[in-house]
Amino acid sequence: MKKEYLIHLLEGITDSRNIKVDEPMRKHTSFRVGGPADVLVTPVTISQLSEILKLCRDNNVPAFVMGNGTNLIVTDKGIRGVVIKIYDNLSGFGIEGDTIWAYAGILLSKLSNFALKNELEGLEFASGIPGTLGGAVAMNAGAYGGEMRNIVIETEYMDVDGKVRIIRNEEHEFGYRTSFIHKHSGIVLRSKIKLNRGKKDKIKEQMSEFMKRRREKQPLEFPSAGSVFKRPKGHFAGKLIEDCGLGGYRIGGAQVSDKHCGFIINVGNATAKDITNLIGHIQNTVQEKFGISMETEVKMVGEQ
């Protein structure tokens, strides 16, 4: 399908202001790398999201759904087809007693502050995680002993056929950085989070403590995608990389952080290739020295 005709069809679903052509993905990823997406669309309703996905399916146009790009490496050649970004627009939220409901595009930091305002505890661990609720639920995000599995009680999602479904409690099949939705390529639409009544001062103190730890131990001043690797069983990824003497190791503009070796940072004009080459070097080095496979936590997408 010609790009001009595809854009014409998309304009029948959403406002032209929500459609960008040949959009550099470096503007939409926390790593600040990535070539152009053929078309980037930001739907403002679930109905628009559903219609855009159907349009792509019916016309064999590749479609990729993203949040705010904090866990992505987009290749230097970019992404063919349509990128659907749900961050920001699909971010409504509300409260029912001690339960918060929210759409997938809301930032965890904003949701955590909302919980604080309403004196609800249980979401403090997520206050410094830079991603969206949708990604956090799909990947069972966690930090400082907390995980989404401990608080998410219901999720409305769209399956690969475009049907909206609901799962509750154990049906999420949460595991380490995975879930039922992730395993079945679903798209989180909104979730309900069950919290507990707490004292505002105590909740705020806990959130401040977690943020202090992040600032002290993580290279927040550089573009990155957080922890690059999953935690190998019985080990810590950052410690393994450090013990290989790779702290500060650099390829092009990509560098293993001296502050936290589990992070790769963009120290200036890094390319996606720089980052993936550095990932490969780390994986090979750790495998050779310790015989341990390092599985990436970040997602790599785009034309090779």
Question: What pLDDT is stored for residue 1 in this prediction?
Answer: 79
- pLDDT, tens digit, 9 for 90 and up, residues 26-52: 999 999 999 999 999 999 999 999 999
Q: Which residues are catalytic?
A: 177, 227, 297
- Domain 3-85 top-level CATH class: alpha beta
pLDDT of residue 59: 94
pLDDT at 227: 93
| Per-residue pLDDT tens over the stretch 63-112 | 999 999 999 999 999 999 999 999 888 999 999 999 999 999 999 999 99
Confidence band of 161 (pLDDT split at 50, 70, 90): confident
CATH number 3.30.465.10 is the correct assignment for the domain at 93-202: yes
Mean pLDDT of the region 241-261: 97
Q: Where are the domains of the chain?
A: 3-85, 93-202, 219-301
pLDDT per residue as tens digits for the range 201-216: 999 999 999 999 999 9
Find tokens 């969206």 and name the residue. Answer: 132
Query: What pTM was estimated for this model as a whole?
Result: 0.92
- pLDDT-based confidence at 169, cuts 50/70/90? very high
Which CATH class, in words, describes the domain spanning 219-301? alpha beta
Structure tokens of 17?
């202001």
Contacts 24+ apart (CB under 8 A), 251-260: 251/277, 251/278, 251/281, 252/277, 254/278, 256/282, 257/218, 257/219, 257/222, 257/224, 259/217, 259/218, 259/219, 260/217, 260/218, 260/219
pLDDT tens, position by position, 272-300: 999 999 999 999 999 999 999 999 999 99
Please report, rounded to a whole number, the percentage of residues in the chain having pLDDT higher than 70: 100
Report the alpha-carbon angle 146-276-220, nearest 5: 45
Q: Does residue 236 surpass a pLDDT of 90?
A: yes
Determine the pLDDT at residue 92. 94
